[in-house]
Amino acid sequence: METTLYNQSGKSAGTIKLPESIFGLTWNADLMHQVVTGMQSNKRAGTADARGRGEVRGGGKKPWKQKGTGQARHGSIRSPIWKGGGVTHGPLAEKNYNKKINQKMKTKALYVALSEKLRAGKILFVEDIKLAGIKTKDAAKIMKSLSSVEGFTTLGGTRRVGLLSLGTVNTTTEKSFQNLPQIDVDTFRNLNPLDVMSYRYLIITNPTEAVSFLESKMKPTVKKAK
């Protein structure tokens, strides 16, 4: 399968061949749900904590006598029904939200997400992005040019809708784009199913190198004999 390759000016620069094994897979809802929700769970800090009635201060003395006051019976102001009392079944910091995700499942989910994103016409392949220096103004011009491509018009807006996936770590490019509200920047080596599904658009630079790396993710590693 082939798709159009663009330059940083938003003009067509030819075509690029894409492997069916990565960009031609059918949608797998069960796999995507399992992997994406697992990744979201692994990102949880797990720091939320509420004190139970045995952990809050005060309440050592019975508020008032059991009978004769005309009020309801209470044994402690630590009770959950009192303001400032303990919380019933509240979150505990020691809870572990981590979920194991099989590496092959995660890779397959990435391929499925890329295939779906390409079918929707939301992946833009760009030859390379070159900037003379760290300058947000130049980065904004590039984003305006790329937003002229059909189907990517909202890249020129102010909402965070896109992920720019670079071939290698490039401080000049990253710092130039970091102040733009509509784009986030990362390398394609960190690309994962959650990122692909979280953004409306995906811009991949150095696509030939990116495809080679993606293909290598499914190749079995050969263990050296001891």
Higher pLDDT, 61 or 219: 61
pLDDT for 217 equals 83
152 plus 165 within the same structural domain = yes
87 plus 135 within the same structural domain = no
- Average pLDDT value for the chain: 91
pLDDT tens, residue by residue, 118-165: 999 999 999 989 999 999 999 999 999 999 999 998 888 888 999 999
Identify the CATH number of the domain in which residue 134 sits. 3.40.1370.10
CB 108 within 8 A of CB 21: no
| Res. 224 pLDDT band, cuts 50 70 90 | low
Domain limits at 75? 45-96
For tokens 């979280």, what's the residue? Answer: 198
Flag whether 35 is in a domain.
no
160 plus 126 within the same structural domain = yes
The total of other beta-carbon atoms located within 10 Å of residue 1's CB is: 11
67 plus 15 within the same structural domain = no
116 plus 92 within the same structural domain = no
Flag whether 185 is in a domain.
yes
167 plus 140 within the same structural domain = yes
Count up the domains in the chain and report the number.
2
pLDDT tens, residue by residue, 26-70: 999 999 999 999 999 999 888 999 999 999 998 788 999 999 999
| Res. 1 pLDDT band, cuts 50 70 90 | confident
How far, in Å, CA of 95 to CA of 41, rounded?
12
Flag whether 39 is in a domain.
no
Is the pLDDT at 174 greater than 60? The verdict is yes
162 plus 103 within the same structural domain = yes
pLDDT for 152 equals 92
| Res. 88 pLDDT band, cuts 50 70 90 | very high
15 plus 127 within the same structural domain = yes
Flag whether 179 is in a domain.
yes
Flag whether 187 is in a domain.
yes
Instruction: Indicate the pTM of the whole model.
Output: 0.81
pLDDT for 154 equals 87
Structure-token pair, residue 60: 């050592």
115 plus 210 within the same structural domain = yes
Flag whether 133 is in a domain.
yes
53 plus 117 within the same structural domain = no
Flag whether 168 is in a domain.
yes
Q: Average of pLDDT values for 181-209?
A: 93
Range of lowest pLDDT (152-161, 182-191, 193-202):
152-161
Structure-token pair, residue 177: 């784009």
The total of other beta-carbon atoms located within 10 Å of residue 20's CB is: 9
Flag whether 122 is in a domain.
yes
Is the pLDDT at 221 greater than 70? The verdict is no
Strand duo 2-6 + 12-17: pairing: antiparallel
Among residues 68, 96, 124, the one where a domain terminates is 96
